[in-house]
Chains A and B, each alone.
Chain A
Amino acid sequence: MSSKSTDWMKRCGEKSVLLLEGKSDCNIVKKFCEDNKINTQFGFCNCENDNQVLSKLNALLQGSNQPEIIGIAIMHTYFAWQDSPSDPLHSAINKIALDNNKKIAKTFKAWLVQLFN
């Protein structure tokens, strides 16, 4: 059973919801939003892996409580190619996420804001 500390990653039933592929991705996006003062009026939904993201999307689209907005962030396609290949994925993302001037970070921020606000 999930511990309380990760419950915020299970808000898959919100009206606006962002599907993510794992725990770390949830943490990264959350931190990114905090750093960039992005209003997170969507639910974070940790789908565990990439296949499950697609299953969840399909299930939500057909489900009885359809969200109004569904976003899917596949983080490694978004960020990974940006930085030096030798960096571990998370440190690469963290570095970019913290650096507001990176173009990719700006694009990601714009996408989040446009989609959910």
Chain B
Amino acid sequence: MCNSFIVKNFRAFEEIKILRLAKVNLFLGKNSVGKTALFEAFYIYLHKNKVEAIYELLLKKDMYLSHEDDSSSIGSIVRHLFHNHQLSNFNDEAIILGEIIKQGKNKDKLTEIKTIIDDDDDEILRVTKNSISEDALLRNDFNELYRHYRMRYRHRISQHESKSRKNINLQFVRSSGSGDIVKMWDNIDLTDKQAKVIEALRIIEPSLSGIKFVEQDRRSEGRIAKASIDGEIVPFKSMGDGINRILYIVLSMVNAQDGYLLIDEFENGLHYSVQEQVWKVIFSLAESLNVQVFITTHSSDCIKAFGSQWESNEKKATMHRIDYKDKRHSVMPYDFSDLNDALSTNTEVR
């Protein structure tokens, strides 16, 4: 578990510190205060393969970096991770992601990303993790680096399958879409986790009795999720946003056992009346499957629903608001009693 978190020189942040994290962690904040950047920082820090994490954040999902230009250099890609989209000065301050180090403890839990000039006068990107550094030439092609690392990690995983698997239990639920639900469903085939998913879906559709992923006629579509409701087989796509959101969230969560789950904009598609029950599922699975959960929201209904579960699990959750004021980011931690004060006096926390 990640007990605290520090981010330096990353994206919009000069520095941001979160002193305490728990099993379930909720983050609030106005638009563009850096909630997504914070999640990207978590994602890179928690991901076993940093290059793959960077690829997924900057190239695969976010489309603002050109896809067509196949030969983007490492420098031109990773500069977007640095403060103000500019590579740090060589041998200067690094991007730092990690748990806050108490005095006397070692630096093992930090990830450092920096640019340096090596002995041959080459410009290098250096990624240091657990005190082990890996270098890449900034002018080299990023996609090649990505392929290289993917091969290496696949190789490692097949070499000692079960041990390494543990480390890749990191799921990122985006604010919209449905992720790779087919793959996630197959991953939990023949386990009791499928029953947990079905149970969660019954929050919205009490008469749902089963799920099936069915081959489509048109090849391009792949398999799609269908539900059995009162003996009828209904495609999930026809069933409304709420149940699809729960499917995405809970499938991701049961796929993150002994790992981490990031959920961006929890409330999307969820009517306020079901949010309390979804939180209940999240608190309970976080405990039983040992998943540390990080969630962002804009919605006061979501915060209220979260509060109802937090009350009986005070030590198991944290809540923070990210603020951006006078060109500085800061983090305001809330105790349960603070949230309770705000809710009982109708005061805006977001």
A contacts, CB < 8 Å to B: 12-13, 47, 52, 54-56, 58-60, 62-65
Contacts and interface: CB of A to CB of B under 8 A. Distances in A.
Given A13-B348, A59-B338, 11 more contacts: A12-B345, A12-B346, A12-B347, A55-B341, A59-B342, A62-B334, A62-B338, A62-B349, A63-B342, A63-B349, A64-B28
B291 to A, nearest CB: 28
A65 B346 CA distance: 12
Residue from A13, A59, A60 whose CB has the most chain B CB atoms within 10 Å: A59
Contacts of B344: 52, 55
B274 interface: no
A10 to B, nearest CB: 9
A13 B321 CA distance: 18
Interface residues of B, number: 17
Contact of B345 (A47, A64, A65): A47
Nearest to A13: B348
Interface string B304-341: 00000000000000000101000000001010001011
4 A-B pairs with least C-beta separation = A59-B347, A55-B341, A59-B342, A56-B345
Residue from B338, B344, B345 whose CB has the most chain A CB atoms within 10 Å: B345
B299 to A, nearest CB: 13
A63 B348 contact: yes
Given A62-B332, A64-B323, A64-B350, A52 B338 contact: no
* Secondary structure type dominating chain A contacts: helix
Contacts of A59: 338, 341-342, 345, 347, 349
* Secondary structure type dominating chain B contacts: mixed
Contact of A64 (B340, B341, B349): B349
A62 B348 CA distance: 9
B30 interface: yes
Nearest to B333: A62
A56 B348 contact: no
Contacts of A12: 345-347
A35 B261 CA distance: 60
A62 B341 CA distance: 10
B298 to A, nearest CB: 11
B350 A58 contact: no
B310 to A, nearest CB: 15
Interface string B217-244: 0000000000000000000000000000
A24 to B, nearest CB: 19
Contacts of A60: 347
B28 to A, nearest CB: 8
A62 B333 CA distance: 9
A102 B103 CA distance: 59
A54 B344 CA distance: 11
A47 B332 CA distance: 24
A64 B338 CA distance: 13
Contact of B348 (A55, A58, A64): A64
22 contacts: A12-B346, A13-B348, A47-B345, A55-B340, A55-B341, A55-B344, A56-B341, A56-B347, A58-B338, A58-B341, A59-B341, A59-B342, A59-B345, A62-B334, A62-B338, A62-B349, A63-B347, A63-B348, A63-B349, A64-B28, A64-B321, A64-B348
Contacts of B321: 64
A62 B323 CA distance: 11
Contacts of B28: 64
A54 to B, nearest CB: 8
Interface string B8-33: 00000000000000000000101000
A54 B321 CA distance: 21
Contacts of B348: 13, 63-65
A65 B348 CA distance: 7
A60 B323 CA distance: 15
B86 to A, nearest CB: 30
A111 to B, nearest CB: 23
A13 B342 CA distance: 13
A38 B197 CA distance: 62
Contacts of A58: 338, 341
B345 to A, nearest CB: 4
